[in-house]
């Protein structure tokens, strides 16, 4: 009988630990989110989110996936939160955004002179599932053909290798890639700033921890008097 009670207690403890797990959706978008492969992911935003939300009662676990997959997981509640701009059409309609924003992103169009001259129809490397605040449609209407890649670094590499004539990207991942590879910003790249867009913590409407996540993030921002979570 004592053994049976101990087994029940152990099962209950495991169930409780699972119930208090907060799942953070992470895709390869450095320096904020960095996916190293084999299911391992981290980055500045992961570290900060853990420092705010993780306690003796809550554990923050990363779930590494592509952006398109994360949007579906937000809808189903398989992940509790991620970081994203508000304007992404693939986001579930009833997600919650936490103010203030996490970071302000610069959206740029980079063009590669040699590739532009070579291609009859200009191509743009971009992230699958991102509409880039309406810029995807505008560029498609102006004659560009999109090459969609799973994440930001895949798109950057496609462009750097000259396999697309342009790159539609948020500037932070592009600069991170150049720094990691010790590459200069090539003189034959042309840069055009298209927009500046705020990205926010996004909480799944299906998350049973929605109240805790939103309240705790808001309290942290108010206590620290933040205008953006990322310094």
Q: What pTM did the predictor assign?
A: 0.84
Give the Cα separation of 173 and 182 in Å (integer).
14
pLDDT tens across 71-88, in order? 999 999 999 999 999 989
Average pLDDT over residues 169-195: 89
Instruction: Order across the sheet with 59-64: list the strands.
Output: 59-64, 21-26, 81-85, 189-203, 96-112, 166-170, 123-127, 145-149
Give the Cα separation of 182 and 200 in Å (integer).
30
Burial class (CB in 10 A: 0-12, 13-18, 19+), 56: exposed
Query: pLDDT exceeding 90 applies to what percent of the chain?
Result: 71
pLDDT tens across 110-142, in order? 998 766 556 678 899 999 988 898 899 999 998
Extract the tokens encoding 158. 């496609």
Other beta carbons less than 10 A from residue 22's beta carbon: 22
């Amino acid at each position: 009988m004592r053994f049976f009670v101990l087994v029940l207690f152990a099962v209950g403890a495991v169930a409780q630990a699972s119930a208090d797990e907060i799942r953070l959706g992470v895709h390869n978008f450095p320096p904020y989110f960095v996916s190293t492969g084999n299911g391992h992911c981290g980055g500045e935003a992961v570290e900060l989110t853990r420092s705010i939300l993780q306690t003796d009662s809550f554990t923050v676990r990363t779930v590494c996936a592509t952006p398109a997959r994360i949007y579906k997981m937000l809808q189903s509640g398989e992940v509790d939160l991620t970081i994203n701009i508000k304007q992404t059409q693939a986001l579930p309609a009833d997600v919650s955004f936490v103010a203030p924003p996490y970071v302000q992103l610069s959206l740029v169009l980079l063009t590669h002179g040699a590739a532009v001259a070579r291609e009859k129809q200009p191509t743009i490397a971009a992230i699958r599932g991102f509409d880039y605040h309406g810029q995807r449609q505008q560029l498609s209407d102006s004659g560009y053909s999109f090459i969609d890649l799973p994440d930001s670094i895949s798109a950057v590499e496609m462009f750097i290798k000259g396999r697309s004539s342009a790159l539609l990207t948020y500037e932070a991942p592009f600069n991170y890639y150049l720094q990691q590879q010790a590459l200069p910003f090539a003189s034959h790249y042309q840069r055009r700033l298209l927009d500046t867009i705020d990205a926010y913590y996004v909480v799944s409407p299906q998350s049973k921890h929605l109240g805790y996540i939103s309240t705790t993030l808001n309290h942290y921002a108010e206590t620290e008097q933040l205008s953006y979570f990322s310094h």
